[in-house]
Amino acid sequence: MWLRELRLTSFRNYRSLAIGFENGLNFLYGPNGSGKTSVLEAISYLAVARSLRSASDAEVARWGDAGFGVGGDVIESDGGARTIVLRYRRGAGKEVSLDGEPLARLSDLVGHLRVAWFCPEDTWITKGGPDARRRLVDMTLCQIDAGYLAALSCYRRALRQRNEALLNWTPDEESDRVVEAWSGKVADYGGRVIAGRAAMIPRLAEKVSRFHAEISGGDTLTLAYRSSVPLGDAGRSPGEAATGEEEAIEPGEARERFARALGDGLEDEKRRGFTLVGPHRDDLEVKLDGRLLRTFGSQGQHRTAAIALKLGEAAVLDADGRGVVVLLDDVLSELDNERGAALVSHMGRHGQAFVTSTARAARELAPGAGEGEGVACYHVNEGEVVRE
Amino acid sequence: MLSFPPTLDRLIKLLGRLPGVGRKSATRIALRLIQSTEAECRELARTIVEAREKTGRCSICGGYTEDDPCPICADERRDASLVCVVERPSDVLALERTGRYGGRYHVLDGLLSPLDGIGPDELRIDSLVERAGEENLREVILALNPTAEGEATSLYLAKTLRPMGVRISRLASGLPVGGELDLADELTLGTALEERRDLSA
Ligand SMILES: [Zn+2]
């Protein structure tokens, strides 16, 4: 799939914009704050109905305007065209339509346009806390599995409710029953989330290891799902090879194990007033040649690992061959030319890519980067995008 | 810029505050109203005030009614041993529209939501427990929305009612996740009611 045209109204600093793209590499260059990232952000709205910069919808609407609109024409791999339109109005929320038909739920949008987003902060994904790694896992799963997306948003809601119930807990039967009811729902949704992660991570690990070996010239990068819920046989012991089958766990089984862990920690949770175990505390463990990368890696090793992770993410998103739109936001400035070129050339294999940079010279990283077919260069400045 | 005369403009603004009525619909309704007869307008205005005054809540089930108890609770032909628990009074109307339910109702007036400060005491749960004891209920059907809050409330009620020896069931899934009961079509809702699942175990 690829995005043929993007239309914006009152979006960030764009009052009104309509722009066509190439099914290949699209370079956007211009000074900082000119609106390059906003174009990528708009594309993320068409994919997942929200900002991948984790901005609120209200922030995205142009200052003083009542809302914003994003529209796009997506060309499917079979040549069919679909038009996605997302509208946001302050106070009224978002609505999405597909080919003019309103969608009942925002989650119904999932899968029509898939994106893999890579920004400068991601180059530290293997160094920092588990949040960024969980976000990578979730963004990947949400785009290929609408059921996972529904379970994850219900899980977050139920978890906040349970934490509030724990905070208000008093030693009486009624209070116990309220906490117990929320534990039941947290375990239901959480079991589905755990099972989804356990099934996807081995697939991601396999692809990431392959890309990493290719870029680094032989170092072995391994990934493993580290759930805060004891999954028993489902969790792999250190040093054991990932085969995929071993780590799979049924949602029902994951639910039982999670419910048991919630029960075991309940007394402690009542004292502390929040939930101590669950998918919100999971991690994606990254090891280089058997050692925990987070604790010893050099800047170069972290960057290579980050690139391999992002390439793996794009490959998982594109596993069914329908394509994925790659959004590389100002990452080339963070990478040396060799890593940057490897990233752009690998990402380019999935079809369409958008690359932003402050320097026009970044375009030279594209293989055979002439003015030929499939490569387009855009100058972005002050809410205007001009194709060269 | 062309604008409406002030009073008509005020009418459009008032209509536009109603749920589901946007600026365009409000304008259309207002233009239609000022073209109808004075008698028609007076009747509409009077009925709005009367409906507001006369509609109260049933002291047994909590549903909307003009008489207490409501016609459903007073109807001898309905199965008094069967009670269907719903979130809001409007859910009673949705289930009645299916034409496939012959028992009575109990309106909770909300769902458990610690984040909104809603615990069991804020809901009509005590009166449900009383009814389960006094009315010799055979079955309680939990017909709450399939949201996190609706499902947690169902779990809470099942746990609370279980020791009373009453059979507890819930609507079959088939309603969209996160959906709303009163927006479900009659067929889906009717089927969910008939294929309800036992929660007593
Ligand atoms: Zn009644």
pLDDT in tens, A23-63: 988 999 999 889 999 999 999 999 999 888 878 999 999 98
Return residues 136-155 of A near B (CB < 8 Å).
150, 154
pLDDT at position A332, please? Answer: 82
The pTM of this model reads: 0.84
* B160/A104 CB distance under 8 A: no
Tell me how far apart the alpha carbons of residues A78 and A303 are, in angstroms, rounded to a whole number. Answer: 36
Ligand 1 centre distance from Cα of residue B63 (Å): 6
Q: B17 — contact with chain A (CB < 8 Å)?
A: no
pLDDT at position B184, please? Answer: 61
The total number of structural domains in chain B stands at: 2
| B49 plus B71 within the same structural domain | no
Do A210 and A222 contact (CB within 8 A), yes or no? no
Directed axis angle between helix A173-216 and helix A146-167, to 10°?
140
**Alpha carbon of A333: minimum distance to chain B alpha carbons (Å):** 43
pLDDT at position A104, please? Answer: 84
What residue numbers bound the domain in which B45 lies?
6-54
* B119/A168 CB distance under 8 A: yes
Examine residue B77 and state whether it is found in any structural domain, yes or no: yes
Report CA-CA distances (Å) from B18 to A66, A188, A259, B14, B109.
20, 37, 44, 7, 21
A35 burial class (0-12, 13-18, 19+ CB within 10 angstroms)?
buried
Specify the CATH number of the domain A1-114+320-388.
Answer: 3.40.50.300
Q: Tell me, what DSSP letter sits at residue A61?
A: B
| B50 plus B71 within the same structural domain | no
Residue B90, domain CATH? 3.40.1360.10
Q: Is there a cis peptide before residue B69, judged by omega within 30 degrees of 0?
A: yes
* A177/B114 CB distance under 8 A: no
| B16 plus B103 within the same structural domain | no
3-state secondary structure of A75: strand
Question: What are the φ/ψ torsions at residue A315 (nearest 5 degrees)?
Answer: -65, -40
| B79 plus B41 within the same structural domain | no
* B178/A188 CB distance under 8 A: no
* B156/A161 CB distance under 8 A: no
Which residues are B176's β-sheet partners? none
Return residues 79-118 of B near A (CB < 8 Å).
112-115
Searching chain A, which residue's CA lies closest to the CA of residue B155? A181
Which two tokens mark A255?
Answer: 């639910």
| B129 plus B154 within the same structural domain | yes
Examine residue B1 and state whether it is found in any structural domain, yes or no: no
Q: Tell me, what DSSP letter sits at residue B152?
A: H
Tell me how far apart the alpha carbons of residues B75 and B69 are, in angstroms, rounded to a whole number. Answer: 10
- Which residue type occupies A201? I
Among partner residues A105, A154, A174, which is closest to B148 by beta-carbon distance? A154
* A177/B151 CB distance under 8 A: no
Which residues are A117's β-sheet partners? A327
**Alpha carbon of A258: minimum distance to chain B alpha carbons (Å):** 17
Q: B135 — contact with chain A (CB < 8 Å)?
A: no
Task: Indicate left, alpha or beta for A368 from its phi (over 0: left) and psi (-120 to 50: alpha).
Answer: left
| B39 plus B85 within the same structural domain | no
Examine residue B166 and state whether it is found in any structural domain, yes or no: yes
Which two tokens mark A125?
Answer: 């994904």
Q: ipTM of this model?
A: 0.78
Which two tokens mark A123?
Answer: 């180059």
What pairing do the DSSP bridges indicate for beta strands A115-118 and A101-102? unpaired
A298 burial class (0-12, 13-18, 19+ CB within 10 angstroms)?
exposed
Residue B12, domain CATH? 1.10.8.420
Cβ contacts of B117 within 8 Å, gap of 6 or more: none
| B40 plus B76 within the same structural domain | no
| B41 plus B81 within the same structural domain | no
| B16 plus B73 within the same structural domain | no
pLDDT tens sequence across A108-162: 888 899 999 998 888 889 999 999 999 999 999 999 988 898 899 899 999 999 9
**Alpha carbon of B90: minimum distance to chain A alpha carbons (Å):** 21
Residues of chain A with pLDDT under 70: 233-247, 362-373
Residues of chain B with pLDDT under 70: 1-2, 173-185, 187, 200-201
Tell me how far apart the alpha carbons of residues A59 and A68 are, in angstroms, rounded to a whole number. Answer: 10
Return residues 24-83 of B near A (CB < 8 Å).
none
Alpha helices in chain A (DSSP H): 36-48, 57-60, 130-144, 146-167, 173-216, 251-264, 266-272, 293-296, 299-317, 337-348
Best CA proximity match to A328, nearest among A115, A71, A110, A48: A115
